Amino acid sequence: MKTKININTRFDSFQKYSLYQSLDNKSKNEIKDIGIEYKLTFQELKQLTDMAVDFQMWEEPGVAIQWKQYSKSLNQSNKIYNKTVLKSIKNNWQLLKENETKYNPKNKRNYSSSVRKLKEINGDNDVFGMCPVASEKTVCCNLRTIDVAQGCGLGCSYCSIQTFYENGSIAVE
């Protein structure tokens, strides 16, 4: 015999779902409102959340807008109402997934780098050096490197090499 679970209890346990937690508050509230109003199952809430994450990344209308759009054409007394609307949203999601990605030119980021400093140094560094990986314990081609410039002016946030250089300046021998 099936045990009836209160929709609020179901939703309380669903809120722990990591993708649901990654959504913005507006999307969370939309999914919660739809879930409670239409008494969606845990799996339906999960599917709706998965699609909401993708719609948000793809800059498509959210699940609440799509739910309203697809539900307009249905009779609300229909017993399979939720499944029909959910299937329509899922079909739209599937279509978007299968189609080629369209990049909107308005979303280009304007990247501006700070002015790079070039300083000349007279050091004892050899211009030709050994590959930093070369040793008896590694498989290496033992090519020589040309170290004319020291430092990188790009300052990428993930780069560990930049910590060896000072303030984005490039030193040239």
Q: What is the pLDDT of residue 160?
A: 55
pLDDT of residue 11: 78
The answer to whether residue 1 sits within a structural domain is: no
> Do 14 and 22 meet the contact criterion of CB atoms below 8 Å apart?
no
User: Do residue 54 and residue 98 come from a single domain?
Assistant: yes
Q: β-strand 144-146 against 128-130: which pairing, if any?
A: antiparallel
In angstroms and rounded to an integer, the radius of gyration of the C-alpha atoms of the chain is 28
71-124 pLDDT per residue, tens: 887 766 555 778 888 999 999 999 999 988 776 766 566 666 666 666 676 766
Domain limit, last residue, from 105, 121, 146? 105
The pLDDT of residue 123: 67
Average pLDDT, the chain: 76
**b/e per residue 145-156 (b: at least 16 CB within 10 A):** eeeeebbebeee
Q: Where does a domain end: 105, 124, 151?
A: 105
Domain membership of residue 39 as a residue range: 7-105
Same domain, residue pair 95 and 15 = yes
